[in-house]
A and B are shown apart, each in its own frame.
Chain A
Amino acid sequence: GQNIDQPTEMTATEGAIVQINCTYQTSGFNGLFWYQQHAGEAPTFLSYNVLDGLEEKGRFSSFLSRSKGYSYLLLKELQMKDSASYLCAVRDNPGGYNKLIFGAGTRLAVHP
């Protein structure tokens, strides 16, 4: 089967660092994505990992361990505008064509 787990909700303080974890069990694995979704808006792409290790992009970093089926998204110097849902998605390719399998998302609330 396919299963992607993320915490449902997290809270953090402005200026702090927060780590959002994602664990996955899928029949196939071909890369992991993180998306950000503000309330009432469309998801937007944040990061992509296909090899083990850390990918850094400004205040956001994403880490992947394929052997552990684990990823995290690290947000530094939190700002109020970072309050959003963060979606972890695994790329699978049954039958040779890619599709994304999403977790339920983690709702992050940043407080002053």
Chain B
Amino acid sequence: KAGVTQTPRYLIKTRGQQVTLSCSPISGHRSVSWYQQTPGQGLQFLFEYFSETQRNKGNFPGRFSGRQFSNSRSEMNVSTLELGDSALYLCASSVTGPGTDTQYFGPGTRLTVL
């Protein structure tokens, strides 16, 4: 069974631009969670989607948004990029939800904002 895939793996943007990241979960997984990982803060929860509905949201500004499609693939969007948005963005999928059953992480998208 294929693992969680994320595209692109690396991205370089400039301040003020916007970016869209994609995550394809493991087949049969309906829950997708997104995290931001930085050296000082660790993994910070962004949001979780299940069956195209956002069930939980972390403490991030409205510039961070996401959605999930009927095939469970998910995208997250960051608008008006700031230098502080430079981070590794990880998505994780599970059958029913984070913590309810095992979450499997993708390799991440490394975003650099110049």
B56 touches A42 (CB 8 A): no
Measured CB to CB, the closest approach of chain B to A13, in angstroms, equals 26
Binding site for B on A (CB under 8 A): 30-31, 33, 41-45, 87, 89, 91, 93-95, 97-105
The interface size of chain B toward A, counting residues with CB under 8 Å, comes to: 26
A93 vs B98: C-alpha distance when bound (angstroms): 10
* B106 adjacent to A42 (CB under 8 Å): yes
A27 to B90, CA, bound (A): 25
| A residues less than 8 Å from B56 (CB atoms) | 94-95, 97-99
Write out the residue numbers on chain A whose beta carbons fall within 8 Å of the beta carbon of B40. Answer: 104
B-chain residues with CB within 8 Å of residue A91 when the two chains form the complex: 98-99
Within 8 Å by CB of B42, from A31, A41, A105, lies A105
Whether the pair A44, B42 counts as a contact (CB closer than 8 A) is: no
Chain B residues with CB below 8 A from A99, complex form? 33, 45, 48, 56, 58, 98-99
Across the interface, which residues of B come within 8 angstroms of A98, CB to CB? 56, 97-100
With contact pairs A42-B106, A95-B56 given, residues A104 and B41 touching in the complex (Cβ less than 8 Å): yes
